[in-house]
Amino acid sequence: MLSLRFSPTSPYVRKVRVAAIEIGLQDRLKLVPTDPWSTDTDLPTDNPLGKVPALTTEDGTVLFDSPVICEYLDSLHDGPKLFPAPGPARWKVLRLLALGDGIADAAVARRLEDMRPAERQHEAWRERQRAALSRALDALESEADTLADPAGPLTIADVAVACALAYLDLRFAADEWRNRRPKLSAWLDPVSNRASMRETAPPAA
Q: Is the Cβ of residue 63 or residue 147 nearer to ligand GSH in the bound state?
A: 63
How many residues sit close enough to ligand GSH to count as binding (CB under 6 A)? 12
Interface with ligand GSH, residue 52, by CB under 6 A: yes
Show the site string, 98-137: x = touches ligand GSH by CB under 6 A, - = not. Answer: ---x------x-----------------------------
Min dist. Cβ of residue 48 to ligand GSH (A): 11
Min dist. Cβ of residue 108 to ligand GSH (A): 5
Q: By three-state DSSP, how is residue 21 classified?
A: helix
- How far is the C-alpha of 34 from the C-alpha of 14, rounded, in Å? 14
CA-based nearest residue to 175, from 118, 117, 129, 120: 129
Q: For ligand GSH, which residue has the nearest CB?
A: 65
Q: Is 41 left (phi over 0), alpha (psi -120 to 50) or beta?
A: beta
Specify whether the CB–CB gap between 119 and 113 falls below 8 A: no
Min dist. Cβ of residue 144 to ligand GSH (A): 23
- One of 3, 4, 6, 12 touching ligand GSH (CB under 6 A): 12
Point out which span in 17-25, 60-68, 128-136, 168-176 binds ligand GSH (CB under 6 A).
Answer: 60-68
Interface with ligand GSH, residue 202, by CB under 6 A: no
- Helices 11-22 and 88-115 cross at an angle (nearest 10°) of 140
- Helices 11-22 and 156-171 cross at an angle (nearest 10°) of 140
Residue 63 pairs with which residues in a beta bridge?
55
Interface with ligand GSH, residue 5, by CB under 6 A: no
CB-count burial class (<10 Å; 0-12, 13-18, 19+) for 138: middle
Task: Catalog residues that contact ligand GSH under the rule CB under 6 A.
Answer: 10, 12, 36, 50-53, 64-66, 101, 108
